Structures are given as C-alpha cells and as structure tokens.
C-alpha cells in the first residue's frame, strides 16, 4: 500500500496549502539567516510541510514568549540601574561613596549583599534577615524531621530485609531437605499404593462375606433385634434341655443290651419316643417364648 502523505505538494492546489508553505519558507529563511546560512534544498511534501509548520508555530510562540520575558527583564534592569544611580548619589552626598570607603567596609558590604542574594531577600534590613533565617530554620527542622523519618523507615526496611533473607535461607534449606526426601517418599507412596490395592480387594471380599452371612442369618430367622443377652439366655435353656434329654438318650443306648424280646423292646422304645417327643416340644416352646419376649 503506497503512502499517500509523501507525494509532492502542488502549490496551486489550494490557498490554504500555499499560505502554509509560505509561512514555512519564511520561518526557515529567518532561522538559517540568524546563523548566517542558506536554506538547503529539499522536496516539499505534505508530511514535511505539516511537520515544519508545527515546528514553526511552536518556535514562534516560544520566541514571542521569550521576547515578552526579555522585554520585562530589560525594563526591570533599567529600573534597577536608575535606582542604583539615585542610591549612589545619596551615598556620595553624605560622604559614603564606594571610592571613599575603606576596603574592609567594601568587603563587608559585598558580603551582606551576597548573603541577601543567597537568602533571596529584596533588602538588607535586619527584619528581612531575621525572617529569612527563621524560614531557613523552619526548613532545616522540616528536613531534619524528614531525615529522621527516613532513617527510621530505613531501619525498619533493613530489619525486614534481614528477616526476609533469614526466611529465604530457611526456605532454601527446607527445599533441599524436601528434595533429598523425594526418593524415600516416592518409595513409601508406592508401598502405600500397593497396600491400598490390597485393602480395596479385601474390602470387596469382606463386603461379599458380610452379604453372605447376612443372607444366612435371614434364612435361619436371626434378626438384629436379638441381643447378646437373649442369645445367652437361649443357650442356657438349650443346656437345660440337653441335660434333661441326656438321661433319656443314655437309657435308649442301654436298650442295645436288652434280650431280643420284641414286645418288651417295642414297649420300651415307644415309651422313650414319647419322652423324647415331650422334651422336643418343651424345647420348641422355650425357644418360641424367648423369641416372643425379644420382639
């Protein structure tokens, strides 16, 4: 894409461009003539004319401001010279002309004048010196106060810096220790991972066993309402029934030694069966009563 701002300017294009080019040329001539040189030849483009016109406007404004300030300073200088002439006439009329004063007095006056200029006061009266000295004292006090505050802040910052350096050293040492412990920790983590895998498999196994045991207890009629005390009581009843049925079982076993008398043997067996049935019925009643009490 071509730069449309760098094409040569046609001076007959518009009155505005012509006036701007004339102002630029006039300003360039005045600037180069002030240093005794000729304006160099160059191509006038839209961009160069715009840039030079901006410089010319800024230069003319600053030149005008400098002229105003210089005129004011020249007027003040004339007033100071006229005032100095009047003061010189007054001093000569009373016999205090500079030529008639001893060198020590001239030196003292010059010192007083230099001190007045240093203190930036308009006269050499005692009150002006006192006011200026008081102002310097106030400034000195302010500077000393600021200096004390800066020193205090510097001490605080130095303390913070020392603590930060100490903390940084501690953190670096801790980092080194942690880096040294990485291998050990990785080995321990691998061991924990292995144990975790084993524990997960055990958990699945135990959950399956718990489910199986729960189903088994449900099949035999065990519920969570049966407490340990009730189980102990039922076990005691079972022991009593076993104790009662043991003589019967012993008697039945003794029948194995009887003579082969079929009728007596049948009667004895029938009697023992009735006794055994009665014992079983009593055991069932006790179990049912225990379960009913627990519910």
Instruction: Report pLDDT digits (tens) over 218-240.
Output: 776 666 666 677 778 878 888 88
Selection from 26, 4, 22, 20 nearest residue 54 by Cα: 20
Task: Kindly report, residue by residue over 186-221, the tens digit of the pLDDT.
Answer: 888 888 999 999 999 999 999 999 888 888 777 766
HSE-up (13 A, CA, CB side) for residue 274 = 5
pLDDT (tens, 9 = 90+) of the chain, 295 residues, equals 333 345 455 544 445 578 888 888 888 888 888 778 888 887 778 888 888 888 888 988 898 999 999 999 999 999 989 988 888 888 778 777 767 777 887 788 788 888 888 888 877 778 888 888 888 899 999 999 999 999 999 999 999 999 999 999 999 999 988 888 888 888 888 889 999 999 999 999 999 998 888 887 777 666 666 667 777 887 888 888 888 888 877 777 766 655 556 666 677 778 878 888 888 788 777 777 766 665 5
pLDDT of residue 12: 46
Q: DSSP class of residue 184? A: H
Whether residue 294 contacts residue 226, with contact meaning beta carbons closer than 8 Å, is answered with yes
Backbone angles phi, psi at 67, to 5 degrees: -65, -40
pLDDT of residue 19: 82
Q: DSSP class of residue 11? A: T
| Distance linking the first and last C-alpha atoms of the chain | 100
> Strand, coil or helix: what is 249?
helix
Whether residue 53 contacts residue 23, with contact meaning beta carbons closer than 8 Å, is answered with yes
pLDDT of residue 293: 64
């Amino acid at each position: 894409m071509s730069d449309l701002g760098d094409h040569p300017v046609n001076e007959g294009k518009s009155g505005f461009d012509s006036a701007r080019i004339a102002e630029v040329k006039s300003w360039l001539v005045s600037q180069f003539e002030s240093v005794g040189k000729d304006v160099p030849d160059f191509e006038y483009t839209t961009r160069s004319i715009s840039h030079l016109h901006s410089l010319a406007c800024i230069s003319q404004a600053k030149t005008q401001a400098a002229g105003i300030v210089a005129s004011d300073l020249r007027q003040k200088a004339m007033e100071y010279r006229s005032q100095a002439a009047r003061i010189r006439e007054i001093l000569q009329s009373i016999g205090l002309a500079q030529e008639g004063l001893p060198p020590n007095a001239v030196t003292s006056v010059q010192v007083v004048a230099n001190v007045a200029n240093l203190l930036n006061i308009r006269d050499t009266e005692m009150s002006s010196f006192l006011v200026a000295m008081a102002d310097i004292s106030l400034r000195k006090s302010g500077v000393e106060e600021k200096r004390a505050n800066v020193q205090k802040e510097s001490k605080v910052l130095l303390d913070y810096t020392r603590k930060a350096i100490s903390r940084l050293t501690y953190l670096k040492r801790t980092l080194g220790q942690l880096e040294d412990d990485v291998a050990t920790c990785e080995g321990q983590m691998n061991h924990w991972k292995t144990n975790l895998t084993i524990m997960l498999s055990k958990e699945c196994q135990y959950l399956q066993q718990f489910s199986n045991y729960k189903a088994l207890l449900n099949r035999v009629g065990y519920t969570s309402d049966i407490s340990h005390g009730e189980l102990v009581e039922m076990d005691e009843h079972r022991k009593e029934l076993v104790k009662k049925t043991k003589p019967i079982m012993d008697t039945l076993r003794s029948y194995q030694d009887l003579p082969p008398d079929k009728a007596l043997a049948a009667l004895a067996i029938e009697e023992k069966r009735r006794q055994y049935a009665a014992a079983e019925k009593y055991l069932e009643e006790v179990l049912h009563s225990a379960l009913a009490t627990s519910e």
